[in-house]
Amino acid sequence: MKIHVAGENSLILYFGEEANAEVAAQVQAANNAIREQMAELIIDTVPSYASLLVIFDAYKCDHLQLRKGIRTAIEANVSGAGQEGTVVTLPVYYSQESGPDLSLISERSGLSVQEIIDLHQSEEYRVYAIGFAPGFAYLGQVDERIASPRIATPRKYVPKGAVGIADRQTAIYPAPSPGGWNLIGLCPIPMFTPEGDSLMPVAVGDRVKFKAITKAEFLDMGGELDEKFLQQEASA
């Protein structure tokens, strides 16, 4: 682990050069230890793929004191390095209607649309980071056979709940926005609910499983087929 100054009241911890399950577990264990054992000094922590940003109260400690405290907290919590987050199952309506890029991935990979769907829901994905927009969880890693680069021309409009793939990551758009990910389906579960008791159904360190549902089930669960999006795709 390497610790560097990130600002006048922040440090950033690096746990590896690239994201993988082992590094992600170390990030989550460190985040838990620091938040639990140094709560009186910490303003916030921001975990990511292979790093952890720690923002502290400069009136209560300085960089050196925090650095020592972080190392002590992490060393005292070595047993927590292997802890796993919660497993969350999210339903997805996979289809050409809800996932217009399924055919593109099929052409690129040589797999059938059903094979792509089966592969996508066969994996268990770790939540590596939350970013881009509130509730946008970066999940990895998808099977290499369906890994897909971002589309050449990003869409001006991607609907809420759209499930996408970019390289070996997958994610659900929490709100309508522009986007360049390959869209393969729609999830009816809100990924960000600011007025709710729980802002998000997942947190960094959790693991996500996708489960295919029918169009009728998607609609019954509160999912919507966005007319603006359907019109955009029809005219593309």
Q: What pLDDT does residue 3 have? A: 94
pLDDT in tens, the chain (236 residues): 899 999 999 999 998 877 777 788 888 888 889 988 999 999 999 888 888 999 999 999 999 999 999 999 888 875 544 456 799 999 999 999 999 999 999 999 999 999 999 999 999 999 988 887 889 999 999 999 999 999 999 999 999 999 999 999 999 999 999 999 999 999 999 999 988 778 899 988 899 999 999 999 999 999 999 999 999 999 98
Model pTM?
A: 0.78
Backbone φ, ψ for residue 16 (5° rounding): 180, 170
Model pLDDT, residue 78: 57
Sequence-distant (6+) residues with CB within 8 A of 145 are 109, 111, 119
Could you tell me the domains of the chain?
2-82 (3.30.1360.40), 87-234 (2.40.100.10)
Distances (CA, A) of 11 to 2, 28, 70, 71, 175: 10, 16, 10, 12, 31
CA–CA–CA angle 164, 221, 85 (5° rounding): 60
Q: How many CB atoms lie within 10 A of CB 143?
A: 16
Backbone angles phi, psi at 178, to 5 degrees: -65, 160
